Chains A and B, each alone.
Chain A
Amino acid sequence: MNGDERALVRPLTEAEREARMEAIQLKLYAFLAKRSERFTLNDSSSLPVELAEELFRGLCFVLGIGETLPDEAIETLAEADFDARFAMGVRRIKKQMALVQKLWRTAVLSLPAIPNTSLTDTLASIRAFQKRYDYLFFAHRVPADIDYQLCHPASEDLGGIDYLIAWLKNLLTESAFIGRFPVKNAIALLGKASPDYIGLHINLYEPIAAQAIGVTLAGGDATTLSLSKDEVKRIEETLNALPPAMRKARLTDAAQDLCRVFRMESQTSRDYLIRFAESLAPRIDAALEGGGLSGVFWA
């Protein structure tokens, strides 16, 4: 929902909820009929079901109607003028399109000087988003080839331009972090972690963040991204001596230390790294059981 729901004095009864839902369904159906007429330019009275479903998803996106509706949203929608709400949704999307352009430009300008085909191809594809995005009928779609895998993917539930904005913001967070390391150090590490890091669909942030956490655990300078075999062995012994819950805490502590050393002001960036450190814990648990950390930290 758009966040414009009014607070209810009391929760809706089951009967009230059903009556309002029926009213919403009728209004949505009539609105879908209107949109499909516009789509076919009044040339066709019927549409393939899949196309009608897509038009429905598109208009729900613009109207700000999610798959599940809380009581407040039901109350608001039952009384809403869908034409006005749709026009408002379109205005919101147009503003967001300006934001996408800004985020895309920043993403291109702050791109790490590390070659990666899927990243550059994805950014090239997003460039045409503005031309391809059909917000009047298929606003929930993302007409771009988003091949580059982020460390923390944008939620698929978002859809359309909201997904793209979340994706670009996450990319910017990753790029800002990668940019803290000398390029030659990052490239040297990526060469060890994934020799074909240019051509493969890999995420650049993950190995760099993991190694930086590893170097921090070893008490070294994270910007070097460099660990000796002895240091990896020492980390292994330290983590092995801890129960899993403590291991996770040790990793997040290291991530927080890294944030302090790098003077990371942005809460988003700090949270992003800490989330990654948390996600590293089960990988480390598995690696320790398998006999070593060589697939997590690289010497």
Chain B
Amino acid sequence: MDINFSLEPLKAQVSQSIAALEKCNDMTRRYGLELSRTQIQNLVAHRFAALKENKRMEFGPGILEKLITAFCDSPYIDQENYEATLLELQELFYHFKNEALEMLSDDELILSMQTGFNGPAQGSLEYLAGEWIETLTRRMRSDGWGYELTFDTEDDADEW
């Protein structure tokens, strides 16, 4: 009988992710943010789709918990756009991981996304996915090790 290397999520992984996100609600309620059971299931389903799309594999409960912790106090997120923003941030995260050539840890990348989103992007996911990540990855590729996580995005950014 063959040993198969399956990329499909295990049932246990899915329920682990759901449980972790339900727990997050306790923390985010004070910011007026809460995910319904359906929204959580949707986010988890999109997590696996995003991983597949970006040709990545993840074993633990996923990155959503960390994203929620980092972004729940953002002035640009409210209950109305909460789920949609998380969906987009999750997708961008896995995309950025590939773009950054595995040179950024999860925490570094989240910090960078948070800095961009709350700073120059002013809550614009489009800006974050475009100019911000372009600048960041350009620097990663040209400099490799000597990067800094916070930087301005003015015209002189090209000097990096």
Contact among B1, B58, B106, B107 for A69, CB-based, below 8 A: B1
Is the C-beta of A52 less than 8 angstroms from some C-beta in chain B?
A: yes
Taking a contact as CB atoms under 8 Å apart, the answer to whether B106 and A48 are in contact is no
Q: Is A145 an interface residue (CB 8 A)?
A: no
Instruction: List the A side residues contacting B106 at CB < 8 Å.
Output: 43-45
- Contacts A53-B5, A68-B1, A69-B1; A45 near B58 (Cβ below 8 A): yes
In the complex the two chains form, what is the Cα distance from A16 to B63 in whole Å?
Answer: 36
Minimum C-beta distance from A141 to chain B (A) = 16
A46-B94, A47-B56, A48-B56 known; A25 and B102 CB under 8 Å? no
- Cα distance, A67 to B2, chains bound together (Å): 6
Q: What 1/0 flags go to B71-106 for Cβ under 8 Å of A? A: 000000000000000000000001001100010011
Cα A46 to Cα B102 with chains together (Å):
10
- Which residues from A are CB-within-8-Å of B59? 29, 32-33, 36-37, 45
Q: Report the interface size for chain B: residues with CB under 8 A from the other chain.
A: 26
Scoring B residues 1 to 29 as 1 if CB is less than 8 Å from chain A, else 0, what string do you get? 11111110010100000000000000000
CA distance A260 to B66 in the complex (A): 73
What does DSSP make chain A's interface, helix, strand, loop or mixed?
helix
CB pair B1–A46 under 8 Å, yes or no, is no
A-contacting residues, B23-65, CB 8 Å: 51, 55-60, 62-63
Residues from chain B with Cβ under 8 Å of A67 in the complex: 2-3
A77 to B7 CA separation, bound complex (whole angstroms): 21
How many residues in A have their beta carbons less than 8 Å from beta carbons of B? 29
Contact assessment for B4 and A49 in the assembled complex, using a CB-CB cutoff below 8 Å:
no
Residues of B within 8 A of A25 (CB): 3-4, 6
Counting chain A CB atoms within 10 Å of each CB, which of B1, B7, B106 scores highest?
B1
**A61, chain B: closest CB distance, angstroms:** 12
Determine how close the nearest CB of chain A comes to the CB of B67; give it in whole angstroms: 11
A29-B10, A44-B105 in contact; A49/B1 too (CB < 8 A)? no
Q: Known contacts A26-B10, A29-B10; is A46 also within 8 Å of B2 by CB?
A: no
**B57: min CB distance to chain A, Å:** 4
Question: Does any Cβ of B come within 8 Å of A60's Cβ?
Answer: yes
Q: Judging by beta carbons under 8 Å apart, are A60 and B3 in contact?
A: yes
| Binary B-proximity of A22-50 (CB < 8 A = 1, otherwise 0) | 00111011001100110010011111111
Q: Are A46 and B3 in contact (CB under 8 A)?
A: no
Given A25-B3, A47-B56, A49-B57, 14 other A-B residues pairs in contact with their CB atoms under 8 A: A24-B3, A26-B12, A29-B59, A32-B59, A37-B59, A43-B107, A44-B105, A44-B106, A45-B66, A45-B106, A49-B7, A50-B55, A60-B3, A65-B3
Interface set of A (CB-CB < 8 Å, partner B) = 17, 21, 24-26, 28-29, 32-33, 36-37, 40, 43-50, 52-53, 56, 60, 65, 67-69, 74
Name 9 interchain pairs, CB-CB below 8 A, sorted by A: A25-B6, A33-B59, A44-B97, A44-B102, A49-B56, A49-B57, A53-B5, A68-B2, A69-B1
